Structure 1
Amino acid sequence: MPAGAHLIKVDNTLGAAFIGVICAAALYGVSCIQTLYYFTRYPKDVWYIKSLVGLVWVFDTIHQCLICHTVYFYLVTNFSNSTSLADMIWSILLEVLFNGLIGFLVQAFLTLRVWRLSGNNLYITSTIACLVVAEFGCSIAFTVQALQLRTWEELKALKGLSITVNILAVVPDVFIAASLFFFLQRSRTGFKKSDTMITRLIVFTVSTGVFTSICAIASLVSILVWENTLIYVAFYFSLGRLYSNSVLATLNARIAIRGLGEDSDELSFSLQTATKSCQPAFNTTSFLRPANISIKINTTQELTRDHQHMRDLEVSSSSAPQIPPRTTRSLP
């Protein structure tokens, strides 16, 4: 991450930067497909959700251009110029800002989901929001100060700030994933279809958060262990792409996940009782007609959508009203 502040010897680890650009480019292709899919399948989404997707894709594109320029500068333009390796290129510093912008937009979106699922829990949501804003603020501060420097050696002065940004990249992801898991788990109803929907939501939400957290942790660890190398960029270059793909996957999966909750849970059973026939001593046979009792219970759960703020944005079983059971009895 910006802890490129520790980089002095870049000549031996430019291969890691090259691998990072390739991985980021592959993920960028996935995000482009997901963006196209979103605008095709959800043309009626509210304007601010469309704006979120559009901005994430624009920042994704700019970030990909910046990291490609960085690798091209060192590996192609200055292929035989070893003295240029001591100098920092502006694009590797500016990419930190756009990575921060992508992370800020995505984490703000997920923080809003926590707010909705928690029933407007101010304490939890404000804690996550402060961490998200702090991370973005540190990214801006690092970029502004780093752009005034010229060499990797000078960048070592920003070591503390760079490590802070890396730590703040991990903590909000962990808080968001844990909060979403807790509130989704708490919203279970006991009905098969709705619980299946919630289970898939939990797996989907946690898995997308885990990927970004693992990548951020790997970037932080590589900075602390190999501080004078570019190994960290193999992870950090892909971090923004994981953020963008996670929010796009969340939005694009709404139709499939919502379909799990639209079917009704049905419990049907029949109870059949019969009395034994008896034969009195008067050679008279009487039969008591068996009584057939059929009981059918239909229970339907429906999901409500917030038409003012979060229309088609999330599926939350915790806020879904339950229709009382309807019981029908029929006696033949």
Structure 2
Amino acid sequence: MSIVDETMGALLVGVILSAIFWGVSCCQMYYYYSQYRDDALPLKVLVLAVWVTDSAHQGLISHSIYTYLVSDYGNPVAITLLNESIIVEVMFNAMTGLLVQSFFVLRVWRLCGRKLYLVAPVVLLIAAEFGEHDGLSICMNIFAAVADVTIAAILCTLLHRSRTKFARSNHLINKLTVFAVNTGLLTSVCACASLLTFFVIPKSFIYITFYFLIGRLYCNSLLATLNARKSLSGRSTDDQSISLRNMQAPPPALLTSHHSRAEGGIAIRIQKDTTTTVDYEVDSDPFKVTCNNIVAEAV
């Protein structure tokens, strides 16, 4: 493999793959705004902000490959240097990650009953991503991967503790757990691949290929999570509903035929209304789904 393959070739592949994922995020954003018109304004602004920073990043890396392959064509020295677009795009990639990770941290904060000791370590990891200017992309990869895995682990743990005797509610919890894992899995794998190739092949741009994809994956993970709410909904004659709040199972003795609730725990009620709804409440609970008359406030 020649030096051109390892530098400009890798950079070109990264830009092409990023463009593909950017196109997917555009489709997802269109679906979101067309299907979830009743979402709160702060959430709509967040989605727009994430898409804008992600699009700016795609524009910058596209400009960089144009500069290398067209403007600086025939200049062997140019391919060994990082141009300005490559340097600036790091900050836009960082902003996309910051917005999406903050959204997921907010979900953890509300889901765990606003327990500071669970959220504080994740907040510190996210803040550490911007702790150094030198080698910023490397620091971001390390701390972003750890933060993503931590967020997913906390969400999965909280959801697992919420399992009940109801098969339908457990089925919904299983789906939410899959979304929680997907929240951090792809970005973490991509960040680790970027780190690995950076240290193993330091003189190539192969690590940049993976780094370009991180912002796209953050954007798509946010939109996929929001757009999945309708797919979790459905209709059923089952009239049991469960509300997951502070993720602690109530004593069986507290359950009654109409409504029972353990203080600070899981509330279970018998619900006659079979209407299925899906909504998102930013100012109260981060994710509320009514699926087959099972109400889950969770991931």
TM-score (norm 2): 0.79
**In structure 1, C-alpha distance between the alignment counterparts of 2:68 and 2:225, rounded to whole Å:** 37
Q: Which moved more, 1:255-264 or 1:217-226?
A: 255-264
Distance (whole Å) between structure 2 residues aligned to residue 318 and residue 51 of structure 1: 26
User: Structure 1 stretches (4+) deviating beyond 3 angstroms?
Assistant: 9-12, 258-263, 297-308, 310-320
Amino acid at match of 1:192: A
Partner SS, residue 309 of structure 1: coil
Unpaired segments ≥5 residues, structure 2: 242-256, 259-268
Cα shift at 1:309: 1.0
- Report whether the alignment pairs 1:217 with 2:211: no
Instruction: Confirm whether residue 241 of structure 1 aligns to residue 226 of structure 2.
Output: no
- Show structure 1 runs of 5+ residues with no match: 1-8, 143-157, 267-296, 321-332
8 A Cα contact 2:11 2:65, kept in partner: yes
2:100 is paired with a residue of what secondary structure?
A: helix
In the alignment, the residues of structure 1 paired with residue 152 and residue 295 of structure 2 have an alpha-carbon distance, to the nearest angstrom, of: 17
Do residues 19 (structure 1) and 13 (structure 2) align?
yes
Aligned residues of 2:50 and 2:219 also touching (Cα < 8 A): yes
Compare relative contact order (CA 8 Å, sep 6+) and give the higher one, 1 or 2. Answer: 1
1:143-292 equivalent positions in 2, closer than 5 A = 158-159=134-135, 162-259=137-234, 263-265=238-240
1:222, 1:124 → 2: CA distance?
A: 32
Equivalent AA in structure 2 for residue 45 of structure 1:
D
RMSD: 2.9
Match of 1:72 in 2: 66
Aligned pair count?
263
Q: CA deviation at 1:312?
A: 6.9
Preserved contact between residue 110 and residue 285 of structure 2 (Cα < 8 Å)? no
Distance 1:263 1:10, change over 3 A: farther
The aligned amino acid for 1:210 is L
Distance 1:69 1:263, change over 3 A: farther
- C-alpha separation between the residues in 2 aligned to 1:200 and 1:84? 49
1:309 aligns with 2:283: yes
Alignment of 1:49-88 (within 5 A): 49-88=43-82
Are the counterparts in 1 of residues 195 and 207 from structure 2 also a CA contact under 8 Å?
Answer: yes
Amino acid of the structure 2 residue aligned with 1:226: I
Distance in 2 between the 1:212 and 1:261 partners? Answer: 36
Q: Secondary structure at the match of 2:230?
A: helix
User: TM-score, normalised to structure 1's length?
Assistant: 0.72
The one-letter code of the counterpart of 1:79 is Y
Secondary structure in structure 2 of the residue aligned to 1:183: helix
The change in CA–CA distance for 1:192 and 1:204 in structure 2 (over 3 A counts) is same
- Separation in 1, partners of 2:70, 2:110: 49
Change (3 A) 1:308 1:108: closer
